[in-house]
Amino acid sequence: MTMNGAQSLLRTLVDNDVDVCFANPGTSEMHFVAALDDELRMRAVLGLFEGVVTGAADGYARMTGRPAATLLHLGPGLGNGIANLHNARRAHAPMVNIVGDHATCHQQYDAPLQSDIETLASNVSGWIRRSCATASLGADAASAVVAARTPPGEIATLILPADISWSEGGTAVGKQPVPGALEPQAEAISLVAKLLRSGEPTAFLVGNDVVGDEAALATVDAIAGAHAAKVLAEVFPARLRRGAGIASVERLGYLAEFATAQLQGLAHLVLVGAQSPVSFFAYPGRESDLVPDGCTVHVLSEVEESGPKALTALADALGVASSAARLAERAVSDRPTGPLTGGSLAAAVAATLPDHAIVVDEAQTGGIWASPATAACAPHDWLTLTGGSIGFGMPVATGAAVACPDRPVLNLQADGSAMYTLQSLWTQAREGLDVTTVIFANRSYAILNMELSRVGAEAPGPVAQSMLDLTGPELDFVALARGMGVPAVRPDDAEGLTAALERAQSEPGPHLIEAVIPSGF
């Protein structure tokens, strides 16, 4: 069978295990869209805005370890997706962006939609290629998948001129081998073994390939237990396995003050695929580097190397069995009563969290109690704002639900952040995804109220305050959700919230619960 470029592209993607495409297409992508009917193994999921598309691909990648494709319309379409691509890049999420462009011969004319796609793509992509010939489009796509999947995972962006897509002569490329993570370095393992034996105060700071892996968490916990060391995770992990039966790990605090306290007194900090800790923002008169004076930073494994293998080798060197890990015990949480607060909201989540839930946490200040409250719940995954670019929660929840149709997804979502990519709800409704969104409605950019004083801008005036205020008018998330086909409620108290959570989880499809917590915490 002869194929056009688009058909060869789709077949190549699917044959290389990329079988979900989050899409917001335009005219230059119409041949790709038409070819979807010739490659029914590809699941195409429409988003009404490109930030939904790229965030969904991030959530999908975090849960499967495999890339989804995105389909984006020229530079502006990629631009709309940049913020969630930024988060995905920080999460080392594998992803293959297909960015349509004008036909090759059309680019000389500077038509209205023309722009420099490469500069936009370079901001977030580890691999970029502009496809130049229909015959090699399949090979380009296969290279993109391999680049995306090569550990630690990255974003590959393939720019696809319309004529390359529509011309005949496409050749699909079969499944290509993907390299695994690099082996850990023996010298690094010996060095860390030695310093652990020294008994000096030591902590591990573990990255994404450890926190997403129960066995690796057990290994590092067993090592730490045997040597009186501490285990810390990065502030914003891509996917943290936690709950009953899993070795728990303490996340480094977002606030530099908390992180400093966690790191205080250390003689050694051992990085396992993690970055050396720095404050999220700089503040006048404070250090950005959070490593305490007198503490030496060591690298057990680089991000391209296998952290789990490095930990196994280290445990072997130390004679520690991972069965010695201290696993979290299951505790059943009481159902909260009384008014809605950050605390009762967290308690309601803990009391109702289903087994094997995927929690997407963009609750910001309102959600600070949710993570500690759920530590002893049934096993679950916790996905966080890796790149700090808000508007990640609803799209990532959408993509996680596509990735794991048998697992319930709970999106803890701040109100201000929800408004960046609210269109996700429509995709959730259209695809019938089991996502329960809880809006933490404090009617404010509350985190900025805190930051406003932390940066030294004391006693903000009324104009400054109005810039952080989301009242006048208040957002009605129940109406907004219903407007996109998602059933929604606004409970009055903690009992109502708990009941709403249980109802949402017992019914198929998406639900939204607006929890108004005016005090903020």
Is 315 in contact with 189 (CB distance < 8 Å)?
A: no
For its own copies, the binding residue among 172, 266, 346, 448 (CB under 8 A) is: 448
Dihedral sign (CA 287, 290, 295, 298)? negative
Q: Which stretch binds its own copies (CB under 8 A): 75-83, 208-216, 309-317, 406-414?
A: 75-83
Which residue's CB is nearer to its own copies, number 265 or number 483? 483
Assigned token pair, 223: 């090592």
For its own copies, the binding residue among 365, 426, 500, 512 (CB under 8 A) is: 426
DSSP designation for 288: S
**Per-residue burial over 234-258, b = 16 or more CB atoms within 10 Å of its CB, e = otherwise:** bbbbbbbbbbbebbbbebbbbebee
User: How far apart are alpha carbons 93 and 209 in whole angstroms?
Assistant: 11
Is 153 in contact with 127 (CB distance < 8 Å)?
A: no
Looking at residues 362 to 421 of the shown chain, list those that interact with its own copies (rule: CB under 8 A). Answer: 386-389, 391, 416, 419-420
Closest approach of Cβ 296 to its own copies, in Å?
18
Q: Does 159 bind its own copies (CB under 8 A)?
A: no
H, E, C per residue of 57-80: HHHHHHHHCCCCEEEEEHHHHHHH
For its own copies, the binding residue among 130, 230, 298, 430 (CB under 8 A) is: 430
Q: Does 462 bind its own copies (CB under 8 A)?
A: yes
Closest approach of Cβ 344 to its own copies, in Å?
25
Site string for its own copies, 483-512 (x = CB under 8 A): xxx---------------------------
Place of tokens 């060391």: 229
Q: Does 11 bind its own copies (CB under 8 A)?
A: no
Q: Which stretch binds its own copies (CB under 8 A): 99-107, 152-160, 320-328, 397-405?
A: 99-107
φ/ψ region of 74 (left if φ > 0, alpha if ψ in -120 to 50, else beta) reads left
Q: How many residues bind its own copies (CB under 8 A)?
A: 99
Q: Which stretch binds its own copies (CB under 8 A): 133-141, 158-166, 257-265, 495-503?
A: 158-166
Place of tokens 């396995």: 241
Q: Does 132 bind its own copies (CB under 8 A)?
A: no
Which residue's CB is nearer to its own copies, number 7 or number 312? 7
Q: Does 111 bind its own copies (CB under 8 A)?
A: yes
Is 421 in a helix, a strand, or coil?
coil
Dihedral sign (CA 492, 495, 497, 501)? negative
Q: Does 72 bind its own copies (CB under 8 A)?
A: no
Which residue's CB is nearer to its own copies, number 166 or number 369? 166
Is 319 in contact with 285 (CB distance < 8 Å)?
A: no
Assigned token pair, 108: 């000389």
Distance (Å) of CA 309 to CA 43, 93, 181, 294 = 34, 20, 9, 29
Q: Which stretch binds its own copies (CB under 8 A): 135-143, 322-330, 337-345, 476-484?
A: 476-484
Nearest of 310, 304, 302 to residue 152 by alpha carbon: 304
Is 375 in contact with 241 (CB distance < 8 Å)?
A: no
Closest approach of Cβ 477 to its own copies, in Å?
7
Closest approach of Cβ 222 to its own copies, in Å?
30
Q: Cite the DSSP H helix spans in 252-306.
A: 256-263
Is residue 105 classed exposed, middle or buried when 0-12, 13-18 and 19+ CB atoms within 10 A define those classes?
A: exposed
Q: Does 319 bind its own copies (CB under 8 A)?
A: no
Which residue's CB is nearer to its own copies, number 49 or number 60? 49
Looking at residues 29 to 68 of the shown chain, list those that interact with its own copies (rule: CB under 8 A). Answer: 30-31, 33-34, 36-38, 40, 44, 46, 48-49, 51
Closest approach of Cβ 163 to its own copies, in Å?
7
Q: Does 116 bind its own copies (CB under 8 A)?
A: yes
Is 178 in contact with 146 (CB distance < 8 Å)?
A: yes
For its own copies, the binding residue among 177, 294, 319, 473 (CB under 8 A) is: 473
Q: Does 127 bind its own copies (CB under 8 A)?
A: no
Residue 383 main-chain phi, psi, to 5 deg: -105, 135
Task: Compute the residue count for the chain.
Answer: 521
Looking at residues 180 to 219 of the shown chain, list those that interact with its own copies (rule: CB under 8 A). Answer: none
Q: Does 422 bind its own copies (CB under 8 A)?
A: yes
Q: Does 339 bind its own copies (CB under 8 A)?
A: no
**Going by C-beta distance under 8 Å and a sequence separation of 6 or more, which residues neighbour residue 109?**
none
For its own copies, the binding residue among 26, 225, 379, 520 (CB under 8 A) is: 26
Looking at residues 269 to 298 of the shown chain, list those that interact with its own copies (rule: CB under 8 A). Answer: 275, 278-282, 284, 288-289
Q: Does 521 bind its own copies (CB under 8 A)?
A: no
CA 338 to chain centre: 33
Q: Does 23 bind its own copies (CB under 8 A)?
A: yes
Q: Does 80 bind its own copies (CB under 8 A)?
A: yes
Give the containing element (helix H, strand E) for 139: helix 137-149
